[in-house]
Each structure stands twice: as C-alpha cells, then as structure tokens.
A and B are shown apart, each in its own frame.
Chain A
Amino acid sequence: MKKSYKIEVDCANCADKMEQAAAKTEGVKSAVVNFMTLKMNVEFEEGADCKAVMQQVLKNCKKVEDDCEIYI
C-alpha cells in the first residue's frame, strides 16, 4: 500500500536523511521524500499497520533531523 504524507523540513540534505531513515524503518518497503513539494511517499510492506509504522518513521526521522515534522 502506498500513502503520501505532508512533511516539514528546512534543508535538502535533511530531507535526504529523512528519506534514508524512513526507508530503514521496519514495515516500510520504500520511501521517497520530495523536498520540493514537501511530501513523503511511503510504500508499506504487506500487512503492515500504517499508523504504527508511521509513528516509528517519525521517531527515526526525528533522530536524524531534530527539526522535522511529518503530518500523519
């Protein structure tokens, strides 16, 4: 399943870091962060609980870039 989330982040490099952090999160098949449109497109693994996974994604993103936000 694919979902798109609005995000808030200030720099392009930070967006790249978020992308990597999100992609490494368990339950996420792939993640693409689009810095220009401030969107994160997440493809979940089958049977994953989107909400729980996104909480973890947000946590992981906060770890690499404190000043970011994902509107879940």
Chain B
Amino acid sequence: MNKKQKKVLIRIIIAAALIIILKFLPIEGLLGGWLEFGLYLIPYFVIGYDILLKACKGIKKGQVFDENFLMAVATVGAICLGDYVEGSAVMLFYQIGELFQSYAVGKSRKNISELMDIRPDYANIEGEDGRLEQVDPDEVEIGSIIVVAPGEKVPIDGVIVEGKTSLNTSALTGESVPRTAGENDEVISGCINLDGLIKIKTTKEFGESTVSKILELVENASSRKSKSENFISKFARIYTPAVCIGALALAVIPPVVLLITGSSAEWTVWIMRALTFLVISCPCALVISIPLSFFAGIGGASREGVLIKGSNYLETLSDAKYVVFDKTGTMTQGVFEVKKTVVAPGAKLSEEKLLEYAAHAESYSSHPISKSLKKAYGREIAADRVSEVSEISGHGVTARVDGVEVAAGNAKLMTRMSLESMSSDEIGTIVHLAIDGKYSGYIVISDIVKPTAQQAIAALKKTGIKKSVMLTGDRKKVADSVAAELGIDEVHSELLPADKVSKVEEILASKSEKEKLCFVGDGINDAPVLTRADIGIAMGALGSDAAIEAADVVLMDDDPAKIAKAIRISKKCIRIVYENIYFAIGIKLICLGLGAVGIANMWTAIFADVGVMIIAVLNAIRALKVKNL
C-alpha cells in the first residue's frame, strides 16, 4: 500500500468506528434531534471531505455526471432526509471500494511487471586492464565485447566469442529446460546465464535487442483496445447520464402524479429512491474490470512465452475456428535428418561405410542435405581423403574418396550413369549412391516432425477448432504423409509463397465473418500471409525481428503445442470479460429495478456499486492464472 492508500485506510477505520459507536449511543431525539445530526456529521466529513471537495470543483467546471458529484448528492440527500447512518455508510463503502480498486490494480500492475522482470540493468564491459566495468546497456555499441557472469542476465543480443554455459530462457519462452550454448552460438538478451562465464560480441544495440522489443510489445499491448473495452467505455458514457435522468424522473414524476390523482405525494419516499439510483449510477465496476482482465490475460500469457500484441488480438484469437499452418519450421523442425540407410543387395559394404562415402562425397557442399549426412556420419571429415569433386547440377555429385569413385545423387544421376537404382516409397529426399561404378544403395533424408506436433493438433481440436489446414511448398507425397501422421484435415502442397496468400484468401472468403482464421508460420518467409490472416501467429520468433513485426501473436519458442495454449488463454480471458460485463450490468439493472419500486434500499445500492466492483476485480485477476491451462 502506498501513502495515499494508507491515509484512506486510516480514515475508513476511524469513520467506521465512529459510526458504530454512534449507533449504540442513546442520542436519538436529544436536543430536538440536532445532537444526533451533528455527531453523525463527524464520521461523514472524516470519510467524505475529499469527495465533497472534488464534487464542488467538478460543479465549477461543469462536470455534472462526475462520480464524486453523484456520491455527494446521494449522501447529502440521505442525510437531509434523516438517514444519517445510510448517508455516512454509503460514503464509507464507496471509499472502501475505491481503496480496494486502487490496491488491486496496483498489485496486478506490480505482479505483471514482476513477471516481465527481464530488463537488464547493466552490461559488463572489460576494460584495458582486465577489470570489469558496469555500464548502461544503452551505451554499448554494436560489436563490443561484453562479459556475462553466472547468475547475470544477458543484456544485449550477440554471439559468444569465449566460454560455454547453459542459459535459462524461461522468462522469455516459459521453457524450463536450460539451453546450452558455446562459442559461435547466438545468444539473445533476457536469458539468464546459469553456470559459465561467457564473453559476447554484441550484434545489436540494446534498443533493438530481443529484450527491449519484448518489453515494448508487452507494455503497449493493452493500448490496442478490444471491442469489449470500447463497448464498455461507450456504455459508461451513456449509462451514467441515463441513470441520473432516471433518478430525477423518479424524484419528480410519481409524486406529481400522486398529487394530481389526489393522494399524498410522499416526496421523501421518492427522493430516497432517486438517491438510491444515484449510488448505482457509478460506472466504475464495469470500466475497471474489463481492461484489468485483458491486462492480466496478456501478462499471464507472456509468462508462458506467448506474446499477444493487443487486447483486440486476444479477443479475435478466442474466436479462432480455422487454423492454417505452414509445414516446414512450424510442424516440422526444418532441419533435415538421415532417416534410413539401405545397402543394395549385391553391394558388399556396411551401412556405416555407405554413409561415410556419402558424407565425404558431399562434404564440399553447404546444402542442408550434405549437412545432415555429415551430422549422421558423426565423425570428422578428412578433407584430404576427397578429391576430384564435381557437381552435376540437378543430379548430384561425383568425387573420389580414398581413391574410389563415388557418385551420390538422385535417380536421374544413376540413370545418367546407366545404372539401375532401387525404387523406394520412402517419404523424403533420397540420395542414391554408386561406388566404383556399381549401384550400392540409398540414404533417405527427411525433415522430422516436431515431437509435440501431433499432440498440438489434437489439443487444437479440443479447443473447438473447425478445421486445420496445412500449406507447404513441399512435394505432395511428403505433405500428405505429414498431414496424415498429424491428423490435419486439409493439405495444399507444392505451393509457391504467393499461392499461400491466395489459399488463405480462399478460406477467408469461404468462412463466416465471426469465425476467425489464424495462420501459424515461422515468420521467415511468410510475412505476407501472417498479415493477411485474421490473426498471424509467428513461432520460434526468438531473435527474429521480422516475425515479431509481422505477427499479431508471437510464440517465443517453436513448440506448436503453444498454439492451443494461446487459444485457451484467450478463451479464458474473454470468458472472464463477458462474465464481468453481464454480471455487473445485470446486477446494476436489477438493483435499479428493485430500487424504483422501493424493494432495494441504499444498502443494496452500495452493494450494486462497491460489491459488484470488488467481485468483478477479483474475477478479472483470475485471468492471470494460465499456467495449468
């Protein structure tokens, strides 16, 4: 609690104590009732002087529907009508409500900024004499060498030039398993260095580093207001004047009608009911709980490595019915791997030997296929064992390895060499090998599906997705097999990047306005599709500025299971928002109705105002809890 809040709390306690004491003192009717009146004014002014003051200021400036003014009129009115306890108590509860609200909002502000506590305070720069100097990260130029000791945050994006360590990325990705990094590995700011001292050559300025981008994004997210927020602020603008006019009508019309019809006017009864209206007319419960829910939802999501760029996107995401995926890098790892090695029946060599020949023959190429061969071979490639390398474009490569002639390439290469290759139904890229002029076997290389991909699709279906679609530039056979394995409903293969946009547009045109389409890509070459979809989700976006720029939702790690999680978070948040809207408006309307016919008194009214607000705020804070969704 800050100073301001503490002061209010003390006033609340004093006023509450005074009211209770006065209630039990036998002062009724003494001095013609003036003693009671005078004594009750003490707690009233203790608790309400600032409201009364603000109300006066408001009147001077012509702010009639100011809530201070409304509260002042309602309570002064009640006291004038002789309801001293009600008058003071309404003011008391109003202050309690305001205090609670400011405390709850302050608390969740703090909570969320703690969640996003990834801002590094300093960077260590090594001076000439080897001593470390702490400087403001903003002052570090690109290409500087910074030192990060165990336990410190990496302040700026860069490449490790010395040392190796494991990094805790959980503040960024929600992933709790540390990532190991050594020399020449890129590291991103915001990670926490766990065990080794590392020296990093910075590749970006602090302002352009991942950590700055993320903080900026999360902080500004709740500025993009959602439809429900706009609805509520419009509603509040109409609601307060409407209820006030209703109060005025209630105070004047029924007594006048009663007078005309010849009964007694009962002015005090109707004015009291009108004052009850004024208490209910404050829009605060509504206005606070909606942005608070979104703020909490976005904050909770970012803790799980899901960055949502605005309340409006959170709202749209909850209506996602079509999810369109890119294949490579999204559902698959985008890294090629040797899946199978097959030695031809007649060839007398082991699988390892076949792989060894292939890895050496392809060793001069930087193609992903060659990399995957080298990786599968696993040992050092001795450059001096390879000679006479020649690449045959569109076919493969021939080379002399240990003096033996090796040809590695596709079936066309084998045909060109007048050799018959084995046919294979394997999914993926097939490298055939001919050694010493004889066909010797083949190696299957394919992109591997992410381990959580299948689960991710199943989880999406559970969240109520109507259709999952996969778009890929890959061959039909590969695409179909991946889709079947994962349980994706629809596949479009052999697409050029431009075709992806038109496919997405086709689906957009075929669905209804209310069902939203979200596109999930790795953000590398699908920026146009990301912007075209209702919601663009970029995954594995750590360190990729283009993706953070183009997407509406950014998944910090590349786990497809986070897509369903993001949707679940948005659904929970929106559900809370609607609960609050219906609950708050509903209770207020019911109390207005009951107040008009005289069933609800001022005590009910103060519940409709303060009680509803407290419940709505508590409900809103629930949006922060998304860990087990």
Are A13 and B57 also in contact (CB < 8 A) when A35-B291, A36-B291 are? no
Contact with A along B211-237 (1 / 0, CB 8 A): 000000001101101000000010011
Q: Is A69 an interface residue (CB 8 A)?
A: no
B295 — which chain A residues lie within 8 A by C-beta? 36-37
CB <8 Å contact, B284 and A37: no
B236 — which chain A residues lie within 8 A by C-beta? 13, 16
A36 partner, pick from B101, B105, B284, B287, beta carbons under 8 A: B105
What size tier do the contact residues of chain A reach?
10 to 19
Shortest Cβ distance from residue A45 to the other chain B in the assembled complex, whole angstroms: 19
Q: Give Cα distance in the complex from A10 to B8, angstroms.
A: 13
Interface positions, chain A 4-43, Cβ under 8 Å from B, are: 10-13, 16, 32, 34-39, 41
Interface positions, chain B 174-223, Cβ under 8 Å from A, are: 219-220, 222-223
CB <8 Å contact, B219 and A37: yes
CB <8 Å contact, A67 and B287: no
CB <8 Å contact, A13 and B284: yes
B367 — which chain A residues lie within 8 A by C-beta? none
CB <8 Å contact, A12 and B225: no
Of the listed residues A34, A38, A39, A67, the one surrounded by the most CB atoms of chain B closer than 10 A to its CB is: A34
CB <8 Å contact, B223 and A12: no
Closest to B229 in A: A16
CB <8 Å contact, A36 and B63: no
Of the listed residues B54, B223, B292, the one surrounded by the most CB atoms of chain A closer than 10 A to its CB is: B223
CB <8 Å contact, A12 and B54: no
A11 partner, pick from B61, B237, B284, beta carbons under 8 A: B284
B287 partner, pick from A16, A63, A64, beta carbons under 8 A: A16
CB <8 Å contact, A12 and B58: no
B428 — which chain A residues lie within 8 A by C-beta? none
CB <8 Å contact, A10 and B98: yes
Are A41 and B223 also in contact (CB < 8 A) when A13-B67, A13-B283 are? yes
Shortest Cβ distance from residue B68 to the other chain A in the assembled complex, whole angstroms: 9
Shortest Cβ distance from residue A37 to the other chain B in the assembled complex, whole angstroms: 6
CB <8 Å contact, B219 and A12: no
A37 partner, pick from B61, B102, B222, beta carbons under 8 A: B222
Q: Give Cα distance in the complex from A37 to B57, angstroms.
A: 27
Q: Is B125 an interface residue (CB 8 A)?
A: no
Contact with A along B277-314 (1 / 0, CB 8 A): 00000011001100110010000000000000000000
CB <8 Å contact, B291 and A10: no
Contact with B along A40-72 (1 / 0, CB 8 A): 010000000000000000000001101100000
Are A66 and B105 also in contact (CB < 8 A) when A13-B283, A32-B225, A36-B222 are? no
Q: Give Cα distance in the complex from A16 to B286, angstroms.
A: 12
Q: Give Cα distance in the complex from A12 to B289, angstroms.
A: 9
Shortest Cβ distance from residue A71 to the other chain B in the assembled complex, whole angstroms: 16
Are A36 and B109 also in contact (CB < 8 A) when A10-B102, A12-B284 are? yes
Q: Besides A10-B98, A36-B291, A64-B61, 4 other CB < 8 A contacts?
A: A11-B98, A11-B288, A12-B284, A37-B223
Chain A interface (Cβ < 8 Å from any Cβ of B): 10-13, 16, 32, 34-39, 41, 63-64, 66-67
